[in-house]
Amino acid sequence: MSVATPYFDQLFAENDDPWAFRQRWYERRKRALTLALLTKPRYASIFEPGCANGELSVELAARCDRLLCCDTAAAAVALARTRLLGCPHAQVRQSRLPAQWPAGQYELIVLSELCYYLDADDLGRLIERALACLSADGQILACHWRPPIEGCPQTAEQVHALLDARLGMPRIASHHDHDFLLDLWSRDGTSVATLEGLR
């Protein structure tokens, strides 16, 4: 069974930064690697489900023309909205995924520290919805903590294996270290050098 919304409500009731996104070097480094893995300098539209308090969101906002973020926890949504006040092209909604997947088309979908909270059935539905709204040249990025998390129905390895099997797209960039998995899939499979006419 997927982790329910009250779990996240409780986390944010006790702390406005429950994973220490702002303080930990681990988190700052992971955000830097996430942004560096992206093969395009700018995207027309980005969707970031599970945005938490918006620390990654504000950096994604600098890389796109339109950003939609969502989270299942009301407190996280309020925090992310505050974090993105200087970004008029960004919107934050309260949504429970995969059931409340937004309409629209996106060039990049960022699944950061989200998918292991979903069971295999819900993750399968999320992948279907992501593929249905991804642009013809769209990309999906996934980043997940490798050690098992108590109460989570899946591990990072299980999540990334299912994404790789179900997305049906080339994986064009990866960073795997002891702590987390970071992968980028792209519909057109184009490398950075190819995008810039070097190949």
**pTM (two decimals):** 0.94
Q: What is the pLDDT of residue 182?
A: 98
Model pLDDT, residue 199: 76
Backbone angles phi, psi at 130, to 5 degrees: -65, -45
Q: What is the pLDDT of residue 1?
A: 66
Ramachandran quadrant class, 151 (left: phi over 0; alpha: psi -120 to 50; beta: rest): left
- Which residues, including other chains, have CB under 8 Å from residue 80's CB and lie 6 or more apart? 51, 52, 53, 54, 57, 69, 71, 92
Q: What is the block-wise mean pLDDT of the chain (199 residues), using blocks of 10 residues? A: 78 75 91 97 97 95 98 92 96 94 96 94 96 97 94 94 96 96 94 81
Number of H helices, E strands in the chain: 7, 7
Query: Number of folded domains in the chain?
Result: 1
112: CATH: 3.40.50.150
Query: Where in the sequence is the domain holding 152, given as residue range(s)?
Result: 5-195
